[in-house]
């Protein structure tokens, strides 16, 4: 019995729209699925971008021909997209769940559904890269991992027929790959011969699992958070400001320093779209404030500012009127 324990892990998408589920449903063939999983192993989970990887490098890692790998990549349209190409190979953008954003399965924390496979020394992928096991054996190990206890690494009872149906191989191939995994010390059969197979996977999960700590999401600033004074509102980078009375935009010569100069009409397209939208929203709010102020002071044609009149409605007291009048907005 091995005492190997995983020291590091790599996240693998799971659930509706994932490679694993599509393989189990027969929507994707075994080798394309393994190519996608290998690229996922060589990627950054957060942004889905792979490391520099050439077709020949990928073929060498998986023990297959260059042409076969190249043709297979064309079958992964939607899953794998080449976004950069150079002398070192290509960088691919991976799609973890090929479905509409609102259909992406999530865990109890609200994150996209996934599970972890070992990485580093003695991991199945590393043994495949070293030529100790084939890609078929590595794929079967991953499928067994999905149907195992993530705390102990022990699989649920499973028959070879069911496993063959999941991975798209015949029963003999599955049995041969199980023997290959046993020889590589990646699993051990712990069930009786006449029972459904139960395997202990290696390396085992760490006994002390990491504690989930939700990320502190940075609060997005809105136009209401912009700095304002008696007449202007300022962009967050302090390079532009908008006059709330005239809607004129001014620009500074240098960020945070220098004199303000009127922005010419032909230069308005240089202002970032986000800043222009924030100014427009602030101007709309200022116009609404003016309208309420005019109405409260009776400057809109009504007589609300003179409670003594026969047609007067309940108006403001002196303190409220003084407060509204103190606002430095031109009516």
**Res 282: pLDDT:** 87
Q: Centre a 10 Å sphere on the Cβ of residue 226 and count the other Cβ atoms it contains.
A: 19
pTM of the shown model:
0.65
Burial 79-110 (b: 16+ CB within 10 A, else e): bbeeeeeeeebbbbebbbbbeeeeebbeeeee
Cα distance between the two ends of the chain: 84
Contacts of 180 (CB under 8 A, 6+ apart): 133, 134, 137
Output the average pLDDT for the chain: 85
**Residue pair 1/187 in contact by the 8 Å Cβ criterion:** no
CATH of 8-201, one of 3.40.50.80, 1.10.287.70, 1.10.10.10, 3.50.50.60: 1.10.10.10
189: nearest Cα among 198, 181, 180: 198
Q: Is the pLDDT of residue 329 over 50?
A: no
Give the CA distances from residue 64 to residues 71, 72, 176, in Å, rounded to whole numbers and listed in that order.
Answer: 12, 11, 19
**Res 296: pLDDT:** 73
**Residue pair 12/138 in contact by the 8 Å Cβ criterion:** no
Query: Over the stretch 130-189, which tens digit does the pLDDT of each residue have?
Result: 999 999 999 999 999 999 999 999 999 999 999 999 899 999 999 999 999 999 999 999
**Res 304: pLDDT:** 47
Chain-centroid distance, C-alpha 174 = 35
Q: Which residue has the higher pLDDT, 328 or 206?
A: 206
**Residue pair 290/244 in contact by the 8 Å Cβ criterion:** no
Rounded CA-CA distance 7/292 in Å is 64
Rounded CA-CA distance 165/153 in Å is 22
Domain spans in the chain, listed from the N-terminal domain onward = 8-201, 223-325
Can you tell me the mean pLDDT for 87-110?
91
Rounded CA-CA distance 143/167 in Å is 8
Query: Over the stretch 267-296, which tens digit does the pLDDT of each residue have?
Result: 888 888 888 888 888 888 888 877 877 777
Strand, helix or coil for residue 65: coil
**Res 307: pLDDT:** 47
**Residue pair 205/150 in contact by the 8 Å Cβ criterion:** yes
Q: Is the pLDDT of residue 246 over 50?
A: yes
Can you tell me the mean pLDDT for 29-51?
95
Strand, helix or coil for residue 228: strand
pLDDT-derived band at 312 (thresholds 50, 70, 90) equals very low
Q: Which residue has the higher pLDDT, 277 or 299?
A: 277
């Amino acid at each position: 019995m091995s005492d190997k324990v995983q020291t590091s892990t790599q996240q693998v998408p799971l659930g509706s729209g994932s490679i694993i589920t599509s393989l189990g449903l027969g929507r994707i063939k075994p080798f394309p699925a393994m190519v996608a999983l290998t690229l996922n192993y060589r990627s950054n989970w957060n942004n889905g971008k792979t490391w520099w990887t050439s077709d020949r490098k990928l073929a060498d890692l998986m023990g297959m021909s260059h042409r076969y790998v190249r043709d297979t990549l064309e079958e992964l349209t939607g899953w794998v997209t080449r976004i950069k190409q150079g002398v070192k190979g290509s960088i691919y953008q991976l799609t973890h769940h090929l479905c509409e954003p609102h259909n992406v399965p999530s865990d109890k924390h609200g994150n996209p559904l996934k599970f972890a496979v070992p990485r580093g020394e003695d991991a199945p992928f590393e043994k495949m890269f070293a030529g100790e096991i084939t890609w078929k054996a590595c794929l079967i190990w991953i499928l067994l991992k999905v149907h195992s206890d993530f705390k102990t690494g022990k699989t649920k009872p499973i028959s070879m027929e069911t496993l063959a149906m999941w991975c798209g191989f015949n029963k003999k191939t599955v049995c041969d790959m199980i023997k290959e995994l046993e020889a590589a010390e990646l699993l051990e059969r712990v069930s009786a011969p006449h029972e459904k197979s139960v395997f202990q996977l290696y390396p085992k999960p760490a006994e002390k699992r990491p504690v989930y700590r939700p990320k502190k999401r940075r609060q997005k600033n809105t136009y209401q958070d912009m700095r304002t004074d008696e007449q202007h509102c300022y962009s967050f980078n302090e390079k532009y400001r908008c006059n709330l009375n005239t809607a004129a935009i001014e620009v500074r010569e240098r960020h945070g320093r220098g004199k303000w100069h009127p922005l010419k009409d032909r230069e308005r397209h240089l202002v970032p779209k986000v800043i222009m939208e924030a100014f427009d929203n602030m101007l709309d709010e200022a116009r609404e404030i003016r309208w309420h102020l005019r109405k409260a002071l009776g400057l809109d044609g009504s007589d609300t500012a003179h409670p003594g009149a026969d047609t007067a409605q309940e108006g403001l007291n002196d303190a409220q009127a003084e407060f509204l009048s103190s606002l430095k907005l031109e009516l």
